[in-house]
A and B are shown apart, each in its own frame.
Chain A
Amino acid sequence: MLLTLTTTHRPATDLGYLLFKHPDRVQAFQQSFGTATVLYPEATDERCTVAVLLEIDPVRLARSAGRSTPDFSLAQYVNDRSYAASSLLGVAVADVFSTARSGRADSRQALADSRIPLEITIPVLPCRGGPPIARRVFEPLGWHVDASPIALDDRFPDWGASRYVRLTLTGELRLADALNQLHVLLPVLDEAKHYWQSDDEVDKLLRSGAGWLATHPDRELVTRRYLGRRSSLTRVALARLAELDDVTDELEPTEAEEPPARRRPLNAQRHEAVLGALRELEARSVIDLGCGPGAFLHVLVREPSLTRVAGADVSTRSLQVAARRLHLDDLSERQSERISLFQAALTYEDARFAGFDAAVLMEVVEHVDPSRLPALERVVFGAARPRAVLVTTPNREYNVRYEGLTGMRHPDHRFEWSRAELQDWAGRVATAHGYTVELRGIGDVDPDLGAPTHLAVFRRD
């Protein structure tokens, strides 16, 4: 809600000319989301400070504007927009100082074109990633950064720091550059709740970033975080599950952290191994059960020997990503007959699962509670009964090879099996449903620990 900008350039009150705002006036500017007030708490020759104070009434906004508000979080009654220097403050600063931002200063043009000593203070800045990110973003631009974390609640000290920092930037910069940087970087740091993007957003970014963004060492991070993801508010059902859903990527180590012998990411090796097994089985039709956003489907559709490929997942969001990845909307009639994608859950019997040569459950079973596994077994092995079932799942024994990994490889894993545990399960399932099973490993084999990923190949004759 608050930002102050101070200069010690003499006469400091020239700041009023640069900003086109008289130091002795209190001016209010209406924004679509509230009121921005510009005032000068100090204005002497030695030191002049301008403050922008943004007032937002969240109740009124939540009730009147609903989902068309410029910021998703405004649809909630309880939100930090009235207090924190969010992207909305970035918008307000850009608006009330639009002339200064363009670098035009009429009577003080020389001053506007030169670097002057500046100090910017933002008492509450939402900063995803904490002080390090703030330093990473501002320091390359010539700022000295003082970012100190704000406690979540001093009455509960063990709760630690909040996602806010108190930020002070000091340095000698052109005022216009400083304002443009704030315009871009406040939303970047606020990332999580970026305001609504219109189609000219990229243009806006490039305009405000002129002269500094292209050379910024972290321009990629800045750009990605500024443009954000077009998420959808309709996912409140999953918002209840937020802790889990925030993390959708597997906690597999990145290549740099991998054991040195390993050349290819485990993910790719899994795809390769399962595709190899499907070729061995001479499967002509395959269903990927728990296909997620369709990474393996993408591999399957390029396999010419497959006449039919299906993907099923319980997450409609994942399926939409998969549909985009497979270009489901603009396939030829013949191609689209070959591919199908649908929402399903592996604990509910489903006629659509039947009639395939092979079913693949790649990194799926470990996301099912052990008490619900019998239902999955019945649905896949009992009811759908494909000729072959390929199951991959992490090898728990191998986890010690991942540095820094405590617990399981993914927060949503309900279990991870050792080789013996997999053998128990696979053997029991095979016997109960008339399959034979062969166990293999995927990835580099450790003589004591086995491979990082199990592969169980079930066959029914």
Chain B
Amino acid sequence: MTEQVEATREIGVPDRGLVLLVGVSGSGKSTFAATHFAPSQVISSDFCRALVSDDENDQSATTDAFDVLHYIVGTRLRRGLLTVVDATNVQSAARASLVRVAKDHDVLVDAIVLDVPESVAVRRNENRPGRDFGPRVVARQHKDLKRSLRSLRKEGFRRVHVLPGDEPGDVRIVPQKPWNDRTDLHGPFDVVGDVHGCATELRTLLETLGWVLQRDDDGRAVGAHHPAGRTAVFVGDLVDRGPDTPGVLRLVMGMVAAGTALCVSGNHEAKLVRALKGADVQVRHGLAESLAQLEAAGEPFRSDALAFMDRLISHYVLDDGRLVVAHAGLKESYHGRSSARVRSFALYGDTTGETDEYGLPVRHPWAREYRGQATVVYGHTPVVEPEWVNNTICLDTGVVFGGRLTALRYPERELVHVPALQQYYEPARPLGRPAADREPTALTIDDVTGTRWLQTEHAGKVKIPEENAAAALEVMSRFAVDPRWLVYLPPTMAPAPTSSRDGYLEHPEEAFAEYAAAGVRHVVCEEKHMGSRAVAVLARDEATAARRFGIADGSTGVVHTRTGRAFFPDGGELVERLRVAVAPLFDELETDWLALDCELLPWSAKALGLIKDQYASVGAAAHTALPAATDVLTAAAARGLDVTALADRVAARTVNAEAYRDAYAAYVRPTDGLDGVTLAPFQLLASEGRTLALTESHRWHLERIGSLTDPLITHTRHRYVDLTDDDQRADAVRWWLELTAAGGEGMVVKPVEPVVSAKRVQPGLKVRGREYLRIIYGPDYTDSLDVLRRRSLGRKKNLALREHGLGLDALARFVEGRPLWSVHQMVFAVLALESEPVDPRL
């Protein structure tokens, strides 16, 4: 009896790869594609022909149509999308070019052949308009197809699925993930560096990490499990050079078989496999040891080990794409991809083909250019000390050369080492840090220019227009301090909502009302110092500067402006004095570096040029012109001319002008170098391991700062207000009136507790004094309040929120030890948003 029930045929296709439909005209490819794939996944040659010629049957447009088709297919594959090509593909040249596109994007390619009888295809074409090319064309295509079917499997396809008969039958398409896709595993992981036959050190390392070894009857370690359910990941190069390659293999093979470990292939496994299979390979670099040891271990172990190593794949993508492990590392565009060159990169690195003076291959420093989100962990190149380079780390610490065996605990990002018991093998070149690979500070122009959307934790998605980036590039590269010191730039701050109170543009009640409406109960009112905004970044000493900031020129900190410029030509002395002033905080916070947000006083210390050019100039003009005008009007009045209204206006403006002159003069104090300069810190931004600006209340910040007693520090007067208490609000308004009457700039109102969840709440609102605003809006602004009240604060508020979030992201990234480029991107974005756009086009 034969089975009559036709089972559903499952066709597995690579889920981020390419599928070619192959079949003569009229074989039902388009129907098949429409049935089994989403419309956007299918690119047909007819469609592309129509795109470039308005006629899907215009054969003269075929060359251009396929250019377009290749472009679309290539773009989709680059973006990791399953793509189906609906074209006859009966000729090998047509297929070869598409296979090439797939290889260029390092994805797998399958073919699905609809092998319908020629007569069926001819009949279908006869019934379709526009397909009047007759049976001869189909016959020729059919002949091509028959010829193709013999060679198809050798053309580079992962699989060729042939569907014979009139209809494809009951088919189900199953997208298959590549072997390297283990994004479903979330660890936690212990990633282990190159072992090279150092079995004793491996066992010690695993036990140090808390693993429990399983031993066979002969006492040999044949497996291990972790009580906390951790998974080990080996970066390859288990074998060669060391004393006990079989011992290492036995343990790792057991762990992999039991599912407690993953292992990628190293270049040494790849070569050992070839040797064991009898290939003619040069027996160098410790291969001889492995061959001899495996020989001694005998069968069946030798065959099992060969099978194990032969099946190792070259990289894994783990933890939802956040972790990638490959023996020699892997650039971002290769993550999760499959091709010979991806495997070659993963095994040997980005080799240039040249060799260095020790005869070892020269490798391109891919990690330096790495900008991916995924953490990449690898080995291959022995280093003395593992070091993070752009979110990648090499764990090969040369145990077989007498160094150490290293593991990385992920996601904890802790390194665990065990020392080698001895040097088992002489290194070909001294262990060291290949300088080119280890340059962590390289920023590239692509990190900052062009229009970009930044994904941030604290401001959502932020758009940085290229015009702003172009302006910021000039400021950043010409005037800002070393980007390694630049872990933060302060955001702009919005004023309180416009007041309608008589004579006032800004008033504390409006700030209180806004916060109360946003559900904030406790606010702090901080005196707004009229000085220059300053950010101080201080390391405890040179060693800290080198270790934490990568600065090795002997400087130990910076005090910079809101645009990243150093305050004084030689900022060293200010840094020195500030470090002494805030020394107690280093101890209290148990940190060896600290970033503070401050105001540098007096205003004239840094802004004297601006005061003279802008403010005093206008004052001088007013101070001279208005009395002259008064004289003229007095004389005219004496002649009996009616100039009363004009004279009154001039008199009022004279009063305003003098008030304006007093306003700027209040912020001028003589200074000589640093003499007379003080700093008023109002927030601690970050310290080792802590993004203080994000986590601590303003009460906490002001208390810490309040404990400082050094004369360099100016304290910030402040008071807390419970917004549900009318008396407290009224008291705070009185306080503000006193401050501003005494020449103060005003105050800043902030929620006491950090605002985390409600993202639209302003981090602070400035409430500036009535007289101070004369130097912002002009001496006579009080006569134009009606106009000024129409000022729109929406844009400013929006900007304040975005810049605030970007600043927090920059700090948090620096605290987390993220790569320089990723911190710099945030800092640069603040500067860009604060810059007036320039036209970058030529």
Q: Per-residue 0/1 for B595-610: is the Cβ within 8 Å of any A Cβ (1 yes, 0 no)?
A: 0000000000000010
B778 touches A77 (CB 8 A): yes
Q: Per-residue 0/1 for B632-653: is the Cβ within 8 Å of any A Cβ (1 yes, 0 no)?
A: 1101100101110010010001
Select which of B444, B555, B780 is within 8 A of A59 by beta carbon: B780
In the complex, whether B445 has a CB less than 8 A from a CB of chain A is yes
Known A41-B632, A63-B788, A77-B781; judge A241-B479 contact (CB<8 A).
yes
In the complex, whether B155 has a CB less than 8 A from a CB of chain A is no
B787 touches A78 (CB 8 A): no
In the complex, whether A1 has a CB less than 8 A from a CB of chain B is yes
Select which of B477, B641, B788 is within 8 A of A24 by beta carbon: B641
Residues of B within 8 A of A397 (CB): none
Residues of B within 8 A of A367 (CB): 478
CB distance from A367 to the nearest CB of B (A): 7
Q: Per-residue 0/1 for A297-334: is the Cβ within 8 Å of any B Cβ (1 yes, 0 no)?
A: 00000000000000000111101100100001000000
Known A40-B636, A238-B474; judge A372-B482 contact (CB<8 A).
yes
CB distance from A311 to the nearest CB of B (A): 10
Chain B minimum-CB-distance residue to A162: B620
CB distance from B559 to the nearest CB of A (A): 15
CB distance from B540 to the nearest CB of A (A): 20
In the complex, whether A80 has a CB less than 8 A from a CB of chain B is yes
A235, B775: Cα distance in complex, Å: 22
In the complex, whether B476 has a CB less than 8 A from a CB of chain A is yes
Residues of A within 8 A of B618 (CB): 78-80, 83
A84, B622: Cα distance in complex, Å: 8
Q: Per-residue 0/1 for B617-635: is the Cβ within 8 Å of any A Cβ (1 yes, 0 no)?
A: 1111110111011011101
Known A2-B625, A53-B632, A346-B477; judge A371-B470 contact (CB<8 A).
no
A309, B473: Cα distance in complex, Å: 23
In the complex, whether B615 has a CB less than 8 A from a CB of chain A is yes
Select which of A150, A242, A382 is within 8 A of B624 by beta carbon: A150
In the complex, whether B804 has a CB less than 8 A from a CB of chain A is no
In the complex, whether B387 has a CB less than 8 A from a CB of chain A is no
In the complex, whether A421 has a CB less than 8 A from a CB of chain B is no
In the complex, whether B616 has a CB less than 8 A from a CB of chain A is yes
Chain A minimum-CB-distance residue to B788: A59
Residues of B within 8 A of A316 (CB): 470-471, 474, 838-840
Known A26-B642, A152-B620, A349-B445; judge A314-B615 contact (CB<8 A).
no
Give the number of residues in A that approach B within 8 Å (Cβ atoms).
Answer: 79
Select which of A78, A237, A371 is within 8 A of B838 by beta carbon: A237
A152 touches B787 (CB 8 A): no
Select which of B439, B625, B649, B835 is within 8 A of A123 by beta carbon: B625
Give the number of residues in B that approach A within 8 Å (Cβ atoms).
Answer: 80
The secondary-structure label for the interface of chain A is: mixed
A159, B609: Cα distance in complex, Å: 10
A78, B476: Cα distance in complex, Å: 28
In the complex, whether A425 has a CB less than 8 A from a CB of chain B is no
A382, B776: Cα distance in complex, Å: 48
Residues of A within 8 A of B840 (CB): 316, 343
A55, B650: Cα distance in complex, Å: 9
Residue of A79, A153, A367 with most chain B CB atoms under a 10 A cut-off: A153
In the complex, whether A261 has a CB less than 8 A from a CB of chain B is no
A123, B318: Cα distance in complex, Å: 78
Known A63-B787, A162-B617, A237-B475; judge A39-B643 contact (CB<8 A).
yes
Residues of A within 8 A of B448 (CB): 348
A53, B839: Cα distance in complex, Å: 40
A341 touches B473 (CB 8 A): no
Residues of B within 8 A of A382 (CB): 436, 439
Contacts A41-B639, A235-B838 aside, 18 further interface pairs with beta carbons under 8 A come to: A24-B641, A39-B636, A41-B633, A53-B633, A59-B777, A83-B618, A83-B625, A123-B625, A124-B624, A126-B621, A150-B621, A153-B619, A316-B840, A323-B842, A341-B842, A348-B447, A348-B448, A372-B482
Provide 23 A-B residue pairs closer than 8 Å at the C-beta atoms, listed in order of the A residue. Answer: A2-B629, A25-B641, A26-B642, A39-B632, A39-B643, A51-B632, A59-B787, A60-B784, A63-B791, A64-B787, A124-B620, A152-B617, A159-B616, A234-B837, A237-B471, A238-B475, A317-B838, A344-B445, A345-B473, A345-B476, A350-B445, A371-B482, A383-B442
- List residues of chain B with CB under 8 Å of any chain A CB: 436, 439, 441-449, 470-479, 481-483, 553, 555, 563, 609, 612-622, 624-626, 628-629, 631-633, 635-636, 639, 641-643, 646, 649, 653, 657, 661, 665, 668, 775-781, 783-784, 787-788, 790-791, 835-840, 842
- List residues of chain A with CB under 8 Å of any chain B CB: 1-2, 4, 24-26, 37, 39-43, 51, 53, 55, 57-60, 63-64, 77-80, 82-84, 123-124, 126, 150-153, 155-156, 159, 162-164, 166, 234-238, 240-243, 314-317, 319-320, 323, 328, 341-352, 367, 369, 371-372, 375, 378, 382-383
